[in-house]
Amino acid sequence: MILPIVIISDERWNRLSRLQRSIVYALVVIGATLLILLYLSKVSKDDVNKKSRSALVQEPLKNVSLVIEPVADASVPKKTVVDIESNERPIFTGPKNARQYAVVQSFKHAWRGYKEHAWGHDNLKPVTGMAAEWFSLGLTIVDSLDTAYVMGLTEEFEEGRQWVKNELVFTKNKDVNFFEVTIRVLGGLLSCHHFTQDEMFLNKATDLGDRLMAAFSSPSGIPYSDVNLGARTAHAPEWSHYSTTAEVTTVQLEFRELSRASNNPAFEDAAAAVSEKIHHLPKKHGLVPIFINPNSGHFLPHATITLGARGDSYYEYLLKQWLQTGKTINYLLDDYLTAIEGVRQFLAKRSSPSKLLFIGELSAGSEAFNPKMDHLTCFLPGTLALGHANGLPDWHMTMAEELMYTCYLTYAAHPTFLAPEITHFNLASTTEDMYTKTADAHTLLRPEFVESLWYMYQLTGNTTYQEWGWQIFQGFEKYAKVPFGYTSLANVKSEKPVQRDMMESFFLSETLKYLYLLFSDDRYVIDLNKYVINSEAHPLPIHKN
Ligand code: DMJ
C-alpha cells in the first residue's frame, strides 16, 4: 500500500490534482489501517492458542494429591525427579566440626586396626587382633570404602581401592549369602563407582552381578539364599527349603543400579520380577510372612510377621524402589501404603504405663501378638519420614517421631547408653514400660537408630536428633572401643560388658557413616531428593524412571 508514494517521483506527484493526491492519501491511510487490524487479529489468535495449550498442560496437575493415595493407573503423571548429572555429584571435603572430626577419628582407629590385623579378610576380631572369614571377599574393605570417601579420607580410600583393583576376585568355589553380598559388596562397589566414575568399580560390580544372577535360577524366579560365586550355582540353605522374605526383596536397588550403570537390563529384570511376583501374593493387609519357598514361589503359611529380623527391609525397599525409579512404579507405592496401614492396625501398640509407641510381631503359627521389638525395627522411623517427605500421609510422620523416641529410650534405659538387640514391652505394667532379657542384651553396634536419626535430621532440621546421636556415640567410645577397633558387646545392661571380639563391617559402612552425616552442618550433604540409600548405607542415584 505504500508503493504509490515510493514509485511516484516528485515531478509526477506535483503534476497530480489536489483530488488525485487526496485519493492517494486516503488509499495509504486505509491500507495502513487494514495492516494494523490484520496484525492485531493475528496476535490475539496466537494468544488464545497459547492459553488453551497451557490449560491442557496444567490439566493433570489437578490430580497431584493422588500421590498420597494408592494409585492404580500407571499412566498418571508423577512429579519429575531429576537424574544426577556427573557434574552434580557431591564433593566431600572432610570433617567441618568437632563432632564430625571425632567420628572420623573413630573410623581411622577401626580402619587402622583392621589394616594391621585382618587386611583382606572379611572381619576383624578387635580384641585379640585376629581375622575372621565369612565370604572371603575382604568384606570390611569393600563395605566401608564409600564411608572413607564420604569422610574425605583420601589415603584410606586409595589403600582400599588398590586392594579392590588387585585382590578382589569372585572366582572362589565358595558359597556366599546372596543378600549379604548384594547389599554389602555389590552396593559398596556401585556407590564407589557412582561417586568416583572409576570404571574399575563398575567392572568388578558387573563380574559380581553376573555370578550372583545364579540365585534367580529357581523354578519360581524367587532367589535361592546361597550362591557359589565360582561355580555360578545356587541353592536353598542347608537348614531349610525356604528363602528369607527380606533377603529376596532387598537386592532390587542394587540390581537396578547395576543395569542402569552397565546398560544391561538383565539384572534389573530378574530382580524386579521378584518384587512383581510378591506383589501378587496374598498378604495380611500388606504384611508378609518372613519365609518364602523359591520352588513354589509361595510364602510359608503362618510364619512370623515382623518388621525386625527377616522382614524389615521388604518394607524399606518398597518405598525406596518407588523413589529410585522416579515414582513411576505405582504398585510399589500401593504395597508400601497398604503395609504401613497394616503395621498401624496389627503391629503398633502402646506400652504401659507410659504409652510408648512400639512395633511388635505376630508369632509363627498362632499369629498372636508378641510385644517384642528388634533393634533392626528402628530403621522404620527414617523410612516413614522419607515417605512423608515425598507426599505420604501426615500420620506416617507422627508415627516416625513417636517411634524415634521409643528407640531412643531403648538406649537411654541402660547404663552403657547402648541398646540391646531386642527390647520387650509391657502392655499392663504399672512400673516398667520395657525390659531386656539376658539372652537379648547384646549389641552388634548396629546402625538402624542412628540411620533414622540422620533421616529425621535431614528432613526436619531438628538438632535434637544430633544430640541423641552424640549421646550414643559416647556410649560406643566408652564401652565398645578396644585397642584394635570397636567390638560387639554381650550385655548393654552391665557397666563392664563382656566384649564379644567382633567388629561387624556395617559398623564402618553404616553406623559411622550415618553419625558423620548426622553431625554435618550441611544436612543435605547427601541429598535425599537425589539419592536412595541401600540397606547397607550405600548411596545410589535416583533415576527418572
Ligand atoms: C545390615 O547388614 C543391613 O542394614 C541389613 O539390612 C540389616 N542388618 C544389618 C545391620 O544391622
- Please state, as a whole number, how many other Cβ atoms lie within 10 Å of the Cβ of residue 451: 25
What crossing angle do the helices spanning 330-342 and 380-389 adopt, rounded to 10°? 130
| E strand or H helix that includes residue 443 | none
Calculate the alpha carbon distances from 232 to 209, 240, 363, 485 in Å.
Answer: 11, 21, 36, 35
Distance CA 479, CA 50 (A): 68
Q: Give the single-character DSSP code of 543.
A: -
Q: Is the CB of 446 under 6 A from ligand 1?
A: yes
Pairing of strands 233-235, 226-228: antiparallel
Q: Look up 180 and say whether it is catalytic.
A: yes
Distance CA 314, CA 336 (A): 9
Inter-residue contact 376 to 308 (CB < 8 Å): yes
How far does residue 505's CA lie from ligand 1's centre (Å)?
A: 10
User: So what's the pLDDT on residue 198?
Assistant: 98
Inter-residue contact 95 to 471 (CB < 8 Å): no
> Ligand 1, closest atom to CA 376?
11
Q: Look up 504 and say whether it is catalytic.
A: no
**Is 271 exposed, middle or buried (CB count within 10 Å of its CB: 0-12, 13-18, 19+)?**
buried
Label each residue of 462-523 as H, E or C.
Answer: CCHHHHHHHHHHHHHHHHHEECCEECCECCCCCCCCCECCCECHHHHHHHHHHHHHHCCCCC
> Ligand 1, closest atom to CA 451?
4
Which residue's alpha carbon is nearest to atom 6 within ligand 1? Answer: 535
For cell 553431625, the residue is 519
Q: Where are the beta strands (DSSP E) in 216-346?
A: 226-228, 233-235, 243-244, 291-292
Q: What does 300-320 look like in DSSP terms, one character per residue?
A: PTT--B-SSTTTHHHHHHHHH
Distance CA 83, CA 88 (A): 10
- Give the cell for residue 99: 563432632
Q: Is the CB of 421 under 6 A from ligand 1?
A: no
Structural Rg of the chain based on CA atoms: 31
How far does residue 58's CA lie from ligand 1's centre (Å)?
A: 43
Q: How many CA atoms lie within 13 A of 137 on its CB side?
A: 29
Q: Give the single-character DSSP code of 222.
A: P
Which of 294, 288, 346 minimizes the C-alpha distance to 317?
Answer: 288
Q: Give the active site residue among 143, 180, 226, 361.
A: 180
Inter-residue contact 147 to 89 (CB < 8 Å): no
pTM for the full model? 0.85
Tell me the three state secondary structure of residue 125: strand
Q: Give the active site residue among 312, 316, 361, 504.
A: 312
Distance CA 520, CA 514 (A): 10
Tell me the three state secondary structure of residue 9: coil
Which residue's alpha carbon is nearest to atom 10 within ligand 1? Answer: 446
Which residue's alpha carbon is nearest to atom 5 within ligand 1? Answer: 535
Q: Look up 11 and say whether it is catalytic.
A: no
Inter-residue contact 433 to 426 (CB < 8 Å): yes
For cell 537386592, the residue is 251
Residues of the chain with pLDDT under 70: 1-87
Q: Is the CB of 447 under 6 A from ligand 1?
A: yes
- Give the cell for residue 439: 539372652
Q: Is 49 left (phi over 0), alpha (psi -120 to 50) or beta?
A: alpha
Q: Look up 361 and say whether it is catalytic.
A: no
Calculate the alpha carbon distances from 376 to 21, 420, 503 in Å.
Answer: 97, 10, 17
**Tens-place pLDDT, residues 222-274:** 999 999 999 999 999 888 999 999 999 999 999 999 999 999 999 999 999 99
User: So what's the pLDDT on residue 33?
Assistant: 55
Q: Is the CB of 506 under 6 A from ligand 1?
A: yes
Residue 369 pairs in a beta bridge with 362
Which of 432, 442, 243 minimizes the C-alpha distance to 352?
Answer: 432
User: So what's the pLDDT on residue 539?
Assistant: 98
Distance CA 448, CA 419 (A): 11
Residue 540 pairs in a beta bridge with 532
How far does residue 379's CA lie from ligand 1's centre (Å)?
A: 9
User: So what's the pLDDT on residue 21?
Assistant: 65
> Ligand 1, closest atom to CA 444?
11
Which residue's alpha carbon is nearest to atom 2 within ligand 1? Answer: 536
Distance CA 283, CA 296 (A): 16
Distance CA 175, CA 212 (A): 11
